[in-house]
Amino acid sequence: MNVDIIDLREFYARPLGTVVRRIIVQRLRARWGDVRGMAVFGFGYAVPYLGVFRNEATRLGALMPTSQGVVAWPQNQPRQAVLVQEDELPLSDSCADRVLVVHGVETTENTAALLREVWRVLAPEGRLILVVPNRTGIWARFDTTPFGHGRPYSRGQLTRLLREAMFTPLNWDQALYMPPFNWPVLLRSAIAWERVGAILWPGLCGVNIIEATKQVYAVMPETKRKGVRARFHPIPA
């Protein structure tokens, strides 16, 4: 089940969404560090997280699937978001240094096609990060947040998914151990929940965060194209 773009935007405008963004951005920074001079793209609804890279990346773009919808991003500045078909990304081969997929894998109708396209556009030394609801986590059981929609995945399922798509998993992170409620007392103690949860109940995290790289020795199978792919040329970040 897809989440509407309006619901996604409203979630991240609320206090709970702000806390979620801060926690996950910390994990992304720990993996990617400074992306100065790189081309960075996000698929799904990645704009809450892409903003942290705006003053570093040479190219920055938000790819939003047609099943979800698109919003103008960033606000009051030249647009860097585009509506796309998940199996026809408007990017050149090997043009991306970093690709972030958030609110994308669990709701796509064709995961294999999406990952095949990500493999195509990712540079040989590039990195992919997937942020996906955890199958055994409490967040996947409540549809009051975007992480409660679509199909959640276990760590083993994500590993197989990536390997079948010719990616090599590199690093794992987990996040969102607090209950998914917009209660002030929970939000104030979110960091404490993260620290304690990682030690006491790691399998109950809300999301799995996996970093992978493409297998450059793999040969991507040919697929029938719908036509000439229009190119997305994001302006410099």
* 96-119 per-position pLDDT tens digit: 999 999 999 999 989 999 999 999
In a domain, 234, yes or no: no
Q: Is residue 231 part of a domain?
A: no
C-alpha distances in angstroms, 165 versus 99, 158, 219, 227? 15, 11, 11, 23
pLDDT of residue 228: 43
- Domain-embedded: residue 99: yes
Q: Is residue 225 part of a domain?
A: no
Instruction: Look at residue 189 and tell me if it is in a domain.
Output: yes
Is the separation of the CB atoms in 171 and 129 below 8 Å?
no
Q: What is the CATH number of the domain that holds 70?
A: 3.40.50.150
pLDDT digits 0-9 by tens, 144-194: 999 999 999 999 999 999 999 999 999 999 999 999 999 999 999 999 999
Please give the single-letter amino acid code of residue 213. Answer: T
Mean pLDDT for the stretch of residues 62-82:
91
Residue 89 lies in a domain: yes
Helices (H), 84-183: 111-121, 155-164
Q: Which domain holds residue 208?
A: 5-214
How many separate domains does the chain show? 1
pTM: 0.91
